[in-house]
Amino acid sequence: MLTKRIIACLDVDGGRVVKGVQFENLRDAGDPAELAKAHSASGADEIVLLDISAAHEQRGTLLDTVRRAARQLFIPFTVGGGIRTLEDAAAVFSAGADKISINSAALADPTLITRIAERFGSQAVVVAIDAKRSDGGNRWEAFTHGGRAGTGRDAVSWAQEAESCGAGEILLTSMDRDGTGSGFDCDLTRAVADSVRIPVIASGGAGGAQHFVEVFRRGHADAALAASIFHYGFGRLIELKQQVATQGIPMRLPC
């Protein structure tokens, strides 16, 4: 049976993982390559590395980070943040990423999705959507630039357009839940997951195993992503997956 995926996300600034990190047996807990490898060993189904560096001159650092992480990573590896052109994407792929994630640049020019998909395949193109409840909570608006800029676009219709442009997966972050640990936005996830045929990765709000169970069952998510939960709450991701599996959700065990 196809399992639900649990994806570990590393937020990287200037070549270092930011947010608190408490991993045992690591020489350097802020090193993305070390952390990616540790997450893989502890059962992550996939790794996402998001570059949140503000400065453009740090792009070179990012490529070096991707190269070092990819060398010892043999599970799917997605890289996002600051990819604006086909050339940016090509550089990240040749550094060793399997998929790229694009957000603001795709909204500004949806043909970027198509151009990357034509060259590298749809399976390599993840469109990230940052969504926030609007209209009294009845719909969700897509935001860009790290959640700073509203677009007026409905998140569900944007997901459908991204799919038709050639996106292979949607990485859907609830801005309302991000960082709260209060659970994923299952309504948002379900609204998007039920309106596209491609897989939807839920993000934002993970606080415990029950939240993953809910977003898979009620939110119809294909995968769920979290960052800080893996740094604090769970020493070993495998324990989280075991808890989710005991509730009847198919998980990859043992990893």
Partner 1 sequence: MIAIVDYGAGNLVSVKKALDWLGAESAITSDPGQVAKASKIVLPGVGHFASTAALGRLGLQDAIANAIGRGIPFLGICVGMQWMFERSQESPKTLGLGLMEGECERFPDSVKSPHVGWNQLEVASSSRLLRGVPSSAFVYFTHSYRAPVSDTTTACCEYGGRFSAAVERDHLFGVQFHPEKSGEIGLTLLGNFCAL
Where in the sequence numbering do the catalytic residues fall?
Answer: 11, 130
Least distance to partner 1 from the beta carbon of 121, Å? 4
Query: Is 174 among the residues that bind partner 1 (CB under 8 A)?
Result: no
- Rg of the chain, C-alpha, whole Å: 17
CA distance to 8, 22, 31, per residue, from 28 (Å): 18, 10, 6
Q: Identify residues 207-226 at the interface with partner 1 (CB under 8 A).
A: 222-223
Among positions 1, 56, 87, 248, the unique one binding partner 1 when judged by CB under 8 A: 1
Query: Is 5 among the residues that bind partner 1 (CB under 8 A)?
Result: yes
The total of other beta-carbon atoms located within 10 Å of residue 6's CB is 28
Query: Is 72 among the residues that bind partner 1 (CB under 8 A)?
Result: yes
Question: Cβ(26)–Cβ(35) under 8 Å?
Answer: yes
Q: Identify residues 141-170 at the interface with partner 1 (CB under 8 A).
A: 168-169
Instruction: Print the binding letters for residues 82-111 with partner 1: x by CB under 8 A, - otherwise.
Output: -----------xxxx-x-------------
Least distance to partner 1 from the beta carbon of 204, Å? 20
- The letter for the amino acid at 51 is D
Long-range contact list for 191-197, CB < 8 A, 24+ apart? 191/140, 191/155, 191/156, 192/129, 192/155, 192/156, 192/159, 193/219, 193/220, 193/221, 193/222, 194/220, 195/156, 195/159, 195/160, 196/159, 196/160, 196/163, 196/170, 197/163
Q: d(Cα 253, Cα 212) in Å, to the nearest integer? A: 16
Least distance to partner 1 from the beta carbon of 148, Å? 31
Least distance to partner 1 from the beta carbon of 167, Å? 11
Query: Is 121 among the residues that bind partner 1 (CB under 8 A)?
Result: yes
Query: Is 75 among the residues that bind partner 1 (CB under 8 A)?
Result: yes
Query: Is 187 among the residues that bind partner 1 (CB under 8 A)?
Result: no
Query: Which residues of this protein are in contact with partner 1, per CB under 8 A?
Result: 1-5, 40, 45, 70-72, 74-76, 93-96, 98, 119-124, 168-169, 197-199, 222-223, 252, 255
